[in-house]
Amino acid sequence: MSLQQKFTGTGIAIVTPFNEDRTIDWASFEKLIHFWIENKVEYLVAIGTTGESATQTREEEQEVFDFVKQVTAGRVPLVAGVGGNDTREVLEAFENMKLDGYDAILSVSPYYNKPRQEGIYQHYKALNDAAPLPIIMYNVPGRTGMSVSVETTLRIAHDCKNIFATKEASGSFEQVNQIMKNKPADFMLISGDDAITLPMIACGASGLISVVANAYPKEYAAMVRFCLAGKFEEARPLHLKYLDMVDALFKEGSPSGVKYVLNKMGYCKNVMRLPVVPVSQAHEAHIDQLMAAIAG
């Protein structure tokens, strides 16, 4: 199976469930992995932002990678989130982490440092040259403070052959359109924004790495498959059904929203690592109403 086949459709940026003492809740994690796979998502992404990568050590990340691989048992492709804002440290992680059983790496553009576009390019060029696996780059300016421009994305896509896709979460359709128009034929554009995945696929995106599919994998993956088949009349009702929930999941921070929903469903505890905290009681009530409407 080619990379393009493996990563067309719905991937989940999976949560990392925690116990009350904020250690990893392995029992809940196993239950969740089976839930996601049984509901027909195409692949899983471990230790992305939704997995609270910012508050896990590299040693913990390795434990998660090993566990997810073991429980998944080859049933779906796997992506390892390995990123950072210190290029040298990311390269050390590439060298030292054991990623056998994984199909690709997701690596976010450098955050906090606010490098200019040349610095972003050089960061990804260094990762490309040392890549132990194919890489999905990740543009999420709302979290990093810097957007990877169209020009830089295309430069990377043309120059860095170990970087085969971008997860695009800028929210800019000018960016999406220009990447689609000018990218190499085999370079994939993947939505990083649940709310605009339908129109992004209409523009040519190959699918989604989702947050909402943590809780609603079956119908969200079905919506994406309808879009990819050009069946937008069938996809639109599902897209609209979850639109308010998508907004609610991010309103008071992620993964706080989706962990609240998963807790209500009985899949994991409503626990995050500080500084991320649970959603407010008022927002809980709003999410409860949305859950009831979806279930209705």
Tens digits of residue pLDDT in 242-262: 999 999 999 999 999 999 999
In 97-170, alpha helices (H): 117-130, 141-144, 150-159
Q: How confident is the model at residue 9 (pLDDT cuts 50, 70, 90)?
A: very high
Q: How confident is the model at residue 131 (pLDDT cuts 50, 70, 90)?
A: very high
What pLDDT does residue 80 have?
98
Q: How confident is the model at residue 102 (pLDDT cuts 50, 70, 90)?
A: very high
What's the CA gap between 224 and 41, in Å, rounded? Answer: 10
The per-residue pLDDT of the chain, averaged, comes to 98
What's the CA gap between 220 and 88, in Å, rounded? Answer: 37
Q: How confident is the model at residue 90 (pLDDT cuts 50, 70, 90)?
A: very high
**pLDDT at residue 296 greater than cutoff 90:** no
Q: Is 102 a catalytic residue?
A: no
**pLDDT at residue 186 greater than cutoff 90:** yes
> Rounded mean pLDDT of 64-86?
98
- 256 phi and psi, to 5 degrees? -55, -45
Q: Is 138 a catalytic residue?
A: yes
What pLDDT does residue 1 have?
87
Among 65, 42, 41, smallest CA distance to 53 is for 65
> Rounded mean pLDDT of 23-49?
98
**pLDDT at residue 179 greater than cutoff 90:** yes
Determine which one of 6, 69, 167, 259 is catalytic.
167
User: Distances from the Cα of 47 to the Cαs of 15, 29, 182, 265, in angstroms?
Assistant: 8, 13, 30, 22
In the structure encoding, which two tokens stand for residue 215, read together?
Answer: 């809780």
Q: What percent of the chain has pLDDT over 70?
A: 100
Q: How confident is the model at residue 116 (pLDDT cuts 50, 70, 90)?
A: very high
Q: What is the distance, to the nearest Å, from the Cα of residue 212 to the centroid of all Cα atoms in its chain?
A: 10
**pLDDT at residue 176 greater than cutoff 90:** yes
What pLDDT does residue 242 have?
98
Determine which one of 102, 121, 138, 242 is catalytic.
138
